[in-house]
Amino acid sequence: MTEHHLPSQLEVSPEAPDRNLALELVRVTEAGAMASGRWVGRGDKNGADGAAVKAMRSLVHTVSMNGIVVIGEGEKDEAPMLFNGERVGDGTGPECDVAVDPVDGTTLTAKGMANAVSVLAVAERGTMFDPSAVFYMDKLVTGPDAAEFVDITAPPGVNIRRIAKAKKSSPEDVTVVVLDRPRHEGIVKEIREAGARIKFISDGDVAGAIMAARESTGVDLLLGVGGTPEGIIAACAIKCLGGTIQAKLWPKDDEERQRALDAGHDLDQVLETDDLVSGDNVFFVATGITDGDLLRGVRYRAETATTQSLVMRSKSGTIRQIDSTHRLAKLRAYASVDFERPS
């Protein structure tokens, strides 16, 4: 296990989440990753997601917190487990907002592609942005070196040149991660005209954002439209890593636009990190499902599985990378989760 401590001036109130919570939370994403990892490459993204949801729900109720799912699998009528509004935790700990994405990259998992992760974030109650009005948002993410120089309202070429200057490099050295979607044709053209490199991802918006903010990933910037829930989860990670996420709500049609206006949203407003998650004591955990730029995927042997996880806390600025070996028989007995191969 490796640790990296960053300077932090954040304070926490006595009723805020306890500092040991992160190491409880990582058991939840490890369970999700090991359960969904059995479905890698099987072409069934719903099977992978369902296995992760079941495993994570079983484990999350053992965590010492009084949590409410703010970002989950959807409303109760559509998602019977980890639905928006569900209470999670054992009820004895602090009051928390919980954001969970059992499989960030269901298609990646189904196709055996890189960068699928299981993700969980926790912050003080009432601090996470409500994503219900608009499903998509336009996003910009970069790390601490260039955070104060970027502006989502500026053209991509301007931001690329600003990042290059902040990092004492050239635009040709900058790498931008972009979801591979037809809607991004214009952005892709502008990035290429600026001379920067592009790393396309087919899914996995949260992992892409973390790559853009974290050192030594080879990625400097994330641009483009992705999911609003994923943007809020990414903001929790940015709180821990440093850097910035900037976003603007992106209604996909007139009906969604009107719903956002009726909910009181200003569609011209630039939402920054603190707008997406205002808490000062945020926990973020992710466990790799498939091998990727961020984390190694689950490895299975006859009686064991190995996982690699990222565990972060904003108050302390601590970033842990945890390599774990799990004895599957003991996990099944303790957690009542079936980690056997899918039928």
Residue 91 in marked binding region: no
One domain for residues 147 and 262: yes
Residue 204 in marked binding region: yes
User: And the tokens for 153?
Assistant: 């309202």
Residue 10 inside a domain? The answer is no
Residue 182 in marked binding region: yes
Helix ranges (H only) for 72-118 are 106-111
User: What pLDDT is attached to residue 11?
Assistant: 38
Residue 8 inside a domain? The answer is no
CATH number of residue 26's parent domain: 3.30.540.10
**Model's pTM, two decimal places?**
0.89
User: What pLDDT is attached to residue 280?
Assistant: 87
Dist. CA 116–CA 289, nearest whole Å: 5
- C-alpha pair distances (Å), 13 with each of 67, 318, 337: 17, 18, 35
pLDDT at residue 313 greater than cutoff 70: yes
Residue 73 in marked binding region: yes
Residue 230 in marked binding region: yes
One domain for residues 198 and 298: no
Residue 101 in marked binding region: yes
The model's confidence at residue 343, banded by pLDDT at 50, 70 and 90, is low
Q: Please list the residues that pair with 285 across neighbouring strands.
A: 120, 311
User: Residue 104 phi/psi, 5° resolution?
Assistant: -85, 95
User: What pLDDT is attached to residue 132?
Assistant: 82
CATH number of residue 256's parent domain: 3.40.190.90
Overall number of domains in the chain: 2
One domain for residues 179 and 257: yes
Residue 227 in marked binding region: yes
The model's confidence at residue 1, banded by pLDDT at 50, 70 and 90, is low
Which of 232, 184, 224 is CA-nearest to residue 206?
Answer: 232
pLDDT at residue 32 greater than cutoff 60: yes
User: And the tokens for 116?
Assistant: 């699928």
One domain for residues 29 and 89: yes
The least confident of 35-39, 50-54, 119-123, 334-338 is: 334-338
One domain for residues 66 and 159: no
Domain span at residue 97?
18-125+280-331
Express each pLDDT in 206-263 by its tens digit: 999 999 999 889 999 999 999 999 999 999 999 999 999 999 999 999 999 999 999 8
One domain for residues 183 and 138: yes
pLDDT at residue 6 greater than cutoff 50: no
| Average of per-residue pLDDT across 186-197 | 98
Residue 206 inside a domain? The answer is yes
| Average of per-residue pLDDT across 57-61 | 92
Q: What is the mean pLDDT of the chain?
A: 89
- Report CA Rg, the chain: 19
One domain for residues 115 and 226: no
User: And the tokens for 339?
Assistant: 């980690």
- Quick one: DSSP state of residue 84? T
